[in-house]
Amino acid sequence: MAVGAREPTDMGPRGKPPRRGESTFLLQYGFVIDQEACIGCHACTVACKAENNVPVGSFRTFVKYVDVGSYPDVTRQFLVQRCNQCTSAPCVAICPVNALVKRPDGIVDVDREACIGCRACMQACPYDAIYLNEDLRAVEKCHFCAHRVERGLEPACAVVCPVRAIIPGDFDDPESEVSQLVRMKATRARREEQGTGPNVRYVGASELTLVPGIARRERSYMWSERPSSQVESPNTDRDVRPDATVSLDVEAKVEWGWPVALYLLTKSIAGGAALLAPFSSVLGVAPPRFFFEAIALAFTAITVFLLVEDLAKPMAFYRLFTRPNWNSWLVKGGVLLSVFGATTAAILVLDVFSPGGELVEPLRWVNALLGALVAGYTAFLFRQCKGRDLWEGPTVLPHLIVQAALCGAAICIPWTQGVGAAQFLFAICAGMHIALIVAENFLPHPTENGKQALGYLTSLPLLGVSARSLSIALAAAAAILAFLPLGALVAAAFATASLFAYEHAFVRAGQLPPLS
């Protein structure tokens, strides 16, 4: 027993503590946190850092402060935040290399050696409970002090709490203290609307602390400046309590930036080239031989490069294939890109050695389907990102397909003689792209996170103007230029710039609303 540790009541239930890899117990460890007792002393934060060697600037547990009222009638409310050891953990589902696992005792743990640093788990977590250890280039999080639990000890945060506001235990054991507390007292959890089944329950927590975005956030906290990247004001009519201010919290970084927006664009170009290749004669397009396949293969290679380069451990990308999690759309997308690239290369080779051979056209039809799948699979990946409600909207999949078709048409129009079907297809796709951008404003966004993200989407700047408005203007100009003499190349350039501007704003806006 560690010096100063209380005798554990729930940490070794049903005869013995669970060991890694065992599957004989039905357990679900979690916490009940009594915010009526919590005094906001940060002893849990310090103990966690010391016990788990948490880097400076990162936290596995943290106490959020919200100040309510105006001088001299001011109160301070606290909320102890950490991983919720979710019953249906989205971070486990999205991790492409099984680096995050749901143990038999319900603890969500991380294998830092297996992690490749894709940071998808950080997008999937609705609680901002995962951080990237820059030194190890791997993600880390609260793992319920699993190394202590396996010895029958309580997590360090529970041991040091001076008022016993942190009570750990097994929610699946009806006789455990946490189960009894949940039966006796009214408890709430954070962001239950995400359907993750959080296993951190709060007694006496205020809505002002539990629901992100109700309390105002100034440009600085009580002891620190907020990162400049996080203080952009969203264009939203959502009500914010003027008498409530978040005075202390942890800011999450925007982990996916312009490389992800560029990847969406290059993937659209690759998929669009394959999508329209079988229709070249119908569209009146006469490009050089191998043109569509060469474009598709080149931009597939760029897409793969961007994906790999954006990893914290680029040289470990092969683990997507050596230890794949087939529930993750990162793995499924990697397989799709590989099959698409191989099929595109096969068409090129066949057309080189057997020009106009009987296999080329059938394979082009197969590749058109693969191109659509390559363009659209990111919508399913985004739906696994439970922390980014904007990305889960119903228009994401059709919008990605429209973007691919727009890119394919942009590739076609320079090779047409005069005005033909390709220009009309290009203009139609540009119009649909604009319509889907505008439609985002009128779609229902059932969660506060989604409403806040939409506000950011409409106001985020690019080159000094709204990125969303810039995207619409560029797409409209492209549609007109496509019909003008010598305007095809400029129209194609405007269309790709429009897509990048929108995706840049869309990817960023989804990550800006606070999750804590």
pLDDT tens-digit map of 442-457: 888 888 899 999 999 9
Mean pLDDT confidence for 65-85 = 95
Sign, Cα dihedral of 488, 491, 497, 498: negative
Please give the Cα distance from 213 to 515 (Å, whole number).
Answer: 8
Please give the Cα distance from 95 to 89 (Å, whole number).
Answer: 10
> Do 192 and 296 belong together in one domain?
no
pLDDT band at 234 (very low <50, low <70, confident <90, very high): low
The yes-or-no verdict on residue 332 having pLDDT over 90 is yes
Determine the pLDDT at residue 239: 67
Determine the pLDDT at residue 9: 44
Determine the pLDDT at residue 236: 55
What backbone phi and psi angles, to 5 degrees, belong to 106?
Answer: 90, -5
In three-state secondary structure terms, 425 is helix
Determine the pLDDT at residue 356: 67
**H or E stretch at 132:** strand 130-133
> Do 297 and 425 belong together in one domain?
yes
Whether the model pTM is above 0.75:
yes
End-of-domain residue from the set 173, 190, 206: 206
Instruction: Calculate ∠ Cα 314-61-129, nearest 5°.
Output: 40
Contact between 32 and 169 (Cβ < 8 Å)? yes
Q: Count other C-beta atoms under 10 Å from residue 439's C-beta.
A: 15
Please give the Cα distance from 164 to 162 (Å, whole number).
Answer: 6
Judge whether 103 lies within some domain: yes
Kindly report the CATH number assigned to the domain that includes residue 392. Answer: 1.20.1630.10
Judge whether 239 lies within some domain: no
Kindly report the CATH number assigned to the domain that includes residue 97. Answer: 3.30.70.20
> Do 197 and 264 belong together in one domain?
no
Mean pLDDT confidence for 184-199 = 95
> Do 277 and 198 belong together in one domain?
no
> Do 277 and 156 belong together in one domain?
no
Determine the pLDDT at residue 2: 37
Which of 87-101, 219-233, 368-382 comes out lowest in average pLDDT?
Answer: 219-233
Judge whether 356 lies within some domain: yes
> Do 194 and 284 belong together in one domain?
no
The yes-or-no verdict on residue 137 having pLDDT over 70 is yes
Judge whether 186 lies within some domain: yes
The yes-or-no verdict on residue 233 having pLDDT over 70 is no
pLDDT band at 8 (very low <50, low <70, confident <90, very high): very low
End-of-domain residue from the set 138, 173, 206: 206
> Do 195 and 290 belong together in one domain?
no
Mean pLDDT confidence for 475-495 = 94
> Do 336 and 194 belong together in one domain?
no
Tokens, residue 192:
């239950």
Judge whether 234 lies within some domain: no
Please give the Cα distance from 74 to 65 (Å, whole number).
Answer: 12
Mean pLDDT confidence for 251-278 = 95
The yes-or-no verdict on residue 199 having pLDDT over 90 is yes
End-of-domain residue from the set 145, 180, 206: 206
Please give the Cα distance from 357 to 424 (Å, whole number).
Answer: 30
The yes-or-no verdict on residue 6 having pLDDT over 50 is no
Determine the pLDDT at residue 253: 86
Determine the pLDDT at residue 16: 41
* Total domains present in the chain: 2
Mean pLDDT confidence for 322-346 = 97
Determine the pLDDT at residue 238: 59
> What contacts 374, CB < 8 A, 6 or more positions away?
267, 270, 271, 274, 300, 333, 336, 337, 340
> Do 293 and 392 belong together in one domain?
yes
Please give the Cα distance from 409 to 328 (Å, whole number).
Answer: 31
Residue 158 lies in domain: 29-206
Q: Count other C-beta atoms under 10 Å from residue 207's C-beta.
A: 12
> Do 53 and 119 belong together in one domain?
yes
What residue type is assigned to position 433 of the chain?
H
> Do 191 and 335 belong together in one domain?
no
The yes-or-no verdict on residue 1 having pLDDT over 70 is no
Determine the pLDDT at residue 385: 97
Please give the Cα distance from 370 to 275 (Å, whole number).
Answer: 8
pLDDT in tens, 170-191: 999 999 999 999 999 999 999 9
Percent of the chain with pLDDT over 90: 78
Instruction: Calculate ∠ Cα 385-317-340, nearest 5°.
Output: 80
Judge whether 349 lies within some domain: yes
The yes-or-no verdict on residue 24 having pLDDT over 60 is no
> Do 202 and 263 belong together in one domain?
no
Determine the pLDDT at residue 471: 97
The yes-or-no verdict on residue 469 having pLDDT over 80 is yes
> What contacts 9, CB < 8 A, 6 or more positions away?
169, 176, 177
Determine the pLDDT at residue 219: 85
pLDDT in tens, 12-21: 443 344 444 4
Judge whether 235 lies within some domain: no
Cα 197 to the center of its chain, rounded Å: 18
Q: What is the mean pLDDT of the chain?
A: 91
Judge whether 421 lies within some domain: yes
